[in-house]
Amino acid sequence: MYENGIELKLADCPEQVAALVRETIQKVYPHYYPSGAVQFFLALHCEAGIEKAMSFEEIYLAMVRGTS
């Protein structure tokens, strides 16, 4: 269900979540953190780490309607 143009969807695919997180870290973090910190966050949020997190907590994806 969309509320204010945003739908929250429970993530069920660690590969998809890892790809989104990796892309975000690679595009945004270098503007704010030194390269060592960027590499740390990439390692911390790797697919195996996300899969482990999904085993004990819920991860949601925010789907925004009307954007490209």
pLDDT digits (tens, 9 = 90+) for 11-64: 999 999 999 999 999 999 999 999 999 999 999 999 999 999 999 999 999 888
Give me the number of domains the chain comprises: 1
pTM score of the predicted model: 0.78
50, two tokens: 């996300």
Q: Using alpha carbons, list the distances in angstroms from residue 60 to 8, 34, 35, 63.
A: 6, 28, 28, 9
Residue 1 lies in a domain: no
* Whole-number pLDDT of residue 6: 87
What pLDDT does residue 7 have?
A: 87
**Which residue range forms the structural domain that includes residue 29?**
6-64
Q: Per the domain annotation, does 15 fall within a domain?
A: yes
For residue 7, give the 3-state DSSP assignment: strand
DSSP, collapsed to helix, strand or coil, labels residue 19 as helix
